[in-house]
Structure formats: structure tokens, C-alpha cells
Amino acid sequence: MTITGIRADRTRVLVTGIGVVAPTGVGSRQHWESVLAGKSGLGRITRFDPSGYPVQVAGEVPGYDADRQVPGRLVPQTDRFTHFAMTAAAAALADADVAPSALPEYEMAVVTASSSGGTEFGQHEMERLYQKGPSWVSAYQSIAWFYAATTGQLSIRHGMRGPCGVLCCEQAGGLDALGQARRLLSSGSRLVLVGGTDASLCPYGLVAQMATGSLSTGDDPARAYLPFSTAARGFVPGEGGAFLVVESAQSAHQRGVSHYGEVLGYAAGFDPRPGSGRPPVLAAVIRRALADAGLTPDRVDVVFADALGLPAHDAAEAQAIAAVFGPGQVPVTAPKTLTGRLYAGGAALDTATALLALSQGVVPHTTGPDRVAPACEIDLVLGQPLQAGPRTALILARGHGGFTSALVVAGNPAAPDMGVTGLTSAEVNPSVKGVPA
């Protein structure tokens, strides 16, 4: 045993529950139906009037009513990003059939990723401060705005008293939270509630995101976020995310529950400072994640790409994938074009989508791009889902500034069939190959 308690003999890490709150729907089933049907959650912003802003399209969670989804007193005490998390986490626990009160309190933990905390709550309270004065600031500002708000609330709500954590690695954080959950399962925890959400679609949140120059100013939701395509022009921001219940194999077996799949490998790195002349780290991070999983590249059946939607970043990602797998040698997909980029929630949702895909034997397609840019030598799955029976997936995530993470998961072929195909058998065709001729 080491000082942090992490054992060298690694515990198998099973995913036994999934909860989703995303522009594609509330609930993993609705999300999965949207993904297979290519049903986009992008649209003109409705939470405020975006007319005055160059960015007017976003992925909002449809029909979400916090008053119906979150215990009453917690609604005014927490930000929307925590509301989403409470809904997704409760769904994941129900899906995993976990009653936390029946398990040892110190062997359960909560790990979340947050990219920007309770932005909308914070804008409201700053408005009160500057309009009315310090005594008008809410007593809940101190617990709603900070990045740890969600982990704290989930720990309290579900009585999980183990080594809880919060990672802010911008848009890579969802994978890093899963990496941390895996560490905890090797150091005395049996079950970790892990995921990420963000909800910074208030005016100040949107304007701050716009400052990066990475957001798409396209006003047609169907054409605004087109990663890897010749028409790529930035990304569409979204809100929401996903939570997973990850559990040691021993714990899952003891409880007699099935699982969606297993976390096999993880690695993270950071890009060198711009101007250093050194290459980005993505290819090295992919190789490390595969080595960690004990897999050779030919054993990976699908890559869930980061798909930033900026031509240079798309080309860099495609080059990294091609360097490891060979040009066009592995199907690549980015169902996040249906949701926009959910920041800390994005990679968590991609992991949920990947596990659903593996457990259902389908590679979901990428909606939006119709032609892959010549600089991107990848087999982007376009047009419709690929009934390819994938067994393993690689999920990639990059965060602003250089955060770079990769996760390898395997599906459980014995997972229950969700009965969602999104296709009639007559429609099943070979995939549309995205590799340029």
C-alpha cells in the first residue's frame, strides 16, 4: 500500500449506471434515441434575447423544469449546472439500482468536473451587489457559485462520504474525472458517482465564451457546428452533461447488477506553450491511454473525437488519430454536433454515448458535416449509424489552453438491449466513408 492507498493491481472499473441531461434530452434513453435519429438539440437561444450578440445558436436542455427535477429548497440555493447534475446523478444511481444508504458511506465518493461553476447564479448576485449593495447578495452565493458546489450537494444528498473531488480541466475535465474515479476504486472506494455538467448560457457566460473567438456565429443550427468539414467555422456552446456510476467489479457482482461496460485505459497530457515549436500532445496521449488499456490500435473499434470545429484544431486531431491508427483506419464519430460543446459535461456525455453505443452494438454517426476537409484524413461516420458491433471505443477531449485527455472503454455485450435502433433494417447500409479519395 502506498501513501495514497493506490494499489498496483488495478481494480476492474465497471460502469453500472448512466444519467443524462443534455440538449438531446433528459434521460439516457431519450438522448440515445436522439443520437441514433440524428435529432439535433441546437437552436436559437431562448433563455435570453441573443439578438444583440454575434452568437445566437446554442444547445439548450429542452423542457427542463428545475422545480420538478430538484428538491424544492435546493432550487434557489444552487445554480443551473448543479440542478442538471442533481437530475443526472439521481438518474444514474437509479439506473445502477444503487441505494447509497445500504453501502458503506466512506467507500462511496463523488467526483465532478466543472469548467466554469455557477455562472448564471454569479451574474445574478453580482447584479444585486452592484445595483443594490453588498447586503443584497444572497446567502447562497458562497455555496452556489464555486466550482465545488455540485460535488458538495451530491455528497450530502446521497450520503457519500469518501474521498470526493472536483477537477476543472476545462473541456477535458469530464475524462479526467473518470480517471480520478478509477484511481479511487483502486484505493478503497467501491463506488464513485462521477460526471460533469456546465450551464453557462447566461449573457455573461456566453460573452465570456465568445472572447475565445472559437464560437460559431452561424445562425442556422444545422450548419453552425461542422467539425472536420470544409465548412468548419467554430463550435456551438451547449449546456448539460452526464453522470455515471462506476463501480469495482467486486461491488457490482456483490450487488448483482449488470453493466454497460468497463473503463480500460486513461491518460492525460498538456500541449506545449504556443510558439515553443513542439508538437501537440494528443497522439502521445492516445498512445499512453492505449498502453494503459493494454490494447494495440487495431483493437479500437471507434473513436469519439473531440471535434472542436476549428479547421486547425480539427486537422491536428485528425493528424493525431491518423498517426496512431493510420489514415482512415478507424471509424471516427462526433455525436456532439447534436448538443454543441457542453464544456465539463461534454466528455462525460461522450463517455455515456460511447458506452450506450458499445452496449447496443452501434456506431452513432456525425450529423452536420457532409464533406470531410482534405486536411482531415479520418473515416468520419456520416449519414447514418453504423451497425458494426463495436466492442471498444477511444474517447478524446481537449480543453482550452492545452488540456488533452483520452479514455478507453469496452462495452458489455451482455448489457440489456434498449430496443432503440433509430433505423429500419432496410436503411442499414455501409458507412459513408469520410476519407478523401
Partner 1 sequence: MTRRAVITGVGVVAPGGIGQGAYWDLLSAGRTATRPISLFDASGFRSRIAAECDFDPIGQGLSAQEADRMDRSAQFAVVAAREAIGDSGIDLPGSDPGRVGVSIGSAVGCTMGLEKEYVTLSGGGRDWLVDHRLSVPQLYEYMAPSTIAAQVAWQAQAEGPVALVSTGCTSGLDAIGHGVQLIEEGTADIVLAGAADAPLSPITSACFDAIKATSPNNDDPAHASRPFDGRRDGFVLGEGSAVLVIEEAGAARDRGADPYAEVLGFAGRSNGFHMTGLKPDGREMAEAIRVAMGRARLAPPDIDYINAHGSGTRQNDRHETAAFKDSLGHHAYAIPVSSIKSMIGHSLGAIGSLEVAACVLALRHQVVPPTANLQVADPECDLDYVPNTARECRIRHVLSVGSGFGGFQSAMILGQPGAARAGDAA
The least CB distance from residue 135 to partner 1, in Å, is 7
Piece of the chain touching partner 1 by CB under 8 A; list 18-26, 116-124, 354-362, 363-371: 116-124
Cell of 335: 455525436
Determine which residue in the list 116, 360, 366, 387 makes contact with partner 1, applying CB under 8 A: 116
DSSP string, 180-249: HHHHHHTTT-SEEEEEEEE---SHHHHHHHHTTT-B---S-TTTS--TTBTT---B-BB-EEEEEEEEEH
Q: For residue 266, which amino acid is it?
A: Y
Helices (H) and strands (E) in the chain, counts: 12, 14
381/397 with CB nearer partner 1 = 397
The least CB distance from residue 54 to partner 1, in Å, is 7
Measuring CA to CA, which residue among 404, 387, 407, 66 is closest to residue 244?
407
4 lies in the site for partner 1, by CB under 8 A: yes
162/385 with CB nearer partner 1 = 162
Q: Furthest-apart CA pair in the chain: how many Å?
A: 66
Piece of the chain touching partner 1 by CB under 8 A; list 32-40, 51-59, 221-229, 230-238: 51-59
Please give the radius of gyration of the chain, using alpha carbons only, rounded to the nearest integer: 20
Tell me phi and psi for residue 356, to 5 degrees.
-65, -40
CB contact at 8 A, 118 and 78: yes
81 lies in the site for partner 1, by CB under 8 A: no
160 lies in the site for partner 1, by CB under 8 A: yes
203 lies in the site for partner 1, by CB under 8 A: yes
Which residues ranging from 174 to 193 are in contact with partner 1 (CB under 8 A)? 176, 180, 183, 188
The least CB distance from residue 4 to partner 1, in Å, is 5
281/352 with CB nearer partner 1 = 281
Tell me phi and psi for residue 301, to 5 degrees.
-95, -20
Determine which residue in the list 28, 40, 56, 153 makes contact with partner 1, applying CB under 8 A: 153
Which residues ranging from 382 to 421 are in contact with partner 1 (CB under 8 A)? 399-403
Measuring CA to CA, which residue among 112, 111, 307, 315 is closest to residue 197?
112
Cell of 120: 448564471
Piece of the chain touching partner 1 by CB under 8 A; list 60-68, 119-127, 250-258, 311-319: 119-127
Which residues ranging from 258 to 287 are in contact with partner 1 (CB under 8 A)? 267-273, 276, 278, 281, 284
115 lies in the site for partner 1, by CB under 8 A: yes
Q: For residue 21, which amino acid is it?
A: V
43/402 with CB nearer partner 1 = 402
Piece of the chain touching partner 1 by CB under 8 A; list 113-121, 313-321, 346-354, 415-423: 113-121
Burial degree of 40 (CB within 10 A; 0-12, 13-18, 19+) = buried
